[in-house]
Amino acid sequence: MLHRFRKPTPPELTDGDAGHRLRAPSKLHAFNRYEIKYLVDAGAVDELREELEHRLVLDRHCPDEGYAIWSVYYDTRGLRFYWEKIEGLRFRRKLRIRHYGDRFSAADDTPVYVEIKQRVNRVTQKRRVQVPYLDALRLCDGREMITHEPSQRAFLEEVLDLTCRLDLRATAMTGYTRHAYLGQDADAGLRVTFDRRVRGRDRDFGFAADAENRFIVPPHKAIMEVKANERVPYWLTDLTAKRNLQVVRVSKYCQSIEAHGLAPRSIFHVPDQDPGRDRPAALSEA
């Protein structure tokens, strides 16, 4: 049985801390969206995708087999960003380096994204810049300012300030295979994604490291995420109701933290196995 746990708010989360104040998103690679997540059976994904394809189009960057996304998340020693999520703070954020594609292809000059994803009330805001992988490591691990375009300077300074002042460090990695769909015409701004084979690790954070990952969401489950600028169209809410899909509050970063024992499991953790199943989720997976 899963039990709700609470942790006293650590001193670093007090409202008076200047580091807790969030800046308004810049216009550079900024996305403001509402996000709704569903946990679905992996075996039902293809059928759901087929139904959605009557209304949505496959993202032009998404091949038929989907594409891989790998992310390294940064946090404080006390897991400040993790606890902000668990406690449901209205204002919270995460810093990560994200790589699209085969992780073993990540070299020093491979383009990656340095991202700050933050929640302001019910709206999710994502800001990011694309830089070579080596520069991303120099910024986030080496805490060194990197060469930049003038329009990127304020964002990179914010990242550097966060890493230095909060003493951030690489804490967890996640990886999964995604299929992404986009809305058209009246549904412009709508995005629906399916993430399968969600796995991660808590060490050896180089993307191309010869390291073992484990499933952090059971392999028979997938995460369906709906992102909308203003509202979810009625036809999509009808579809989720017809399928009896249940909204879940799940974070892949928090799943990785809890699956690797870095924090106790919360009520938001996806169980390792469903009742009646005898196949655990904690399987090794490259």
In a domain, 222, yes or no: yes
In a domain, 10, yes or no: no
How far apart are the C-alpha atoms of 65 and 106, rounded to whole Å? 20
173-204: b (≥16 Cβ within 10 Å) or e = bbbbbbbbbbbeeebeebbbbbbbbbbbbbee
Q: Are 40 and 193 in contact (CB under 8 A)?
A: no
In a domain, 265, yes or no: yes
Global confidence as pTM: 0.86
In a domain, 102, yes or no: yes
Containing domain of residue 202, as a range? 17-285
Q: Which two tokens stand for residue 85?
A: 């999520």
In a domain, 6, yes or no: no
What φ, ψ does residue 157 adopt, rounded to 5°? -65, -35
In a domain, 8, yes or no: no
Residue type (1 letter), 252? K
Which CATH number fits the domain that encloses residue 39? 3.20.100.30
Q: Give the total number of structural domains in the chain.
A: 1
235-271: b (≥16 Cβ within 10 Å) or e = ebeeebeeeebeeeebbbbbbbbbbbeebebbebbbe
In a domain, 5, yes or no: no
Name the β-bridge partners of 96. Answer: 73, 115
Full pLDDT tens readout for the chain, 286 residues? 333 334 444 434 444 343 333 334 444 555 667 889 999 999 999 999 999 999 999 999 999 999 999 999 999 999 999 999 999 898 999 999 999 999 999 999 999 999 999 988 878 889 999 999 999 999 999 999 998 889 999 999 999 999 999 999 999 999 999 999 999 998 988 999 999 999 999 999 999 999 999 999 999 999 999 999 878 899 999 999 999 998 999 999 999 999 999 999 999 999 886 544 444 445 556 6
Task: Identify the CA nearest to 206 among candidates 70, 81, 77.
Answer: 70
Residue 52, judged by CB atoms within 10 A of its CB (0-12, 13-18, 19+), counts as buried
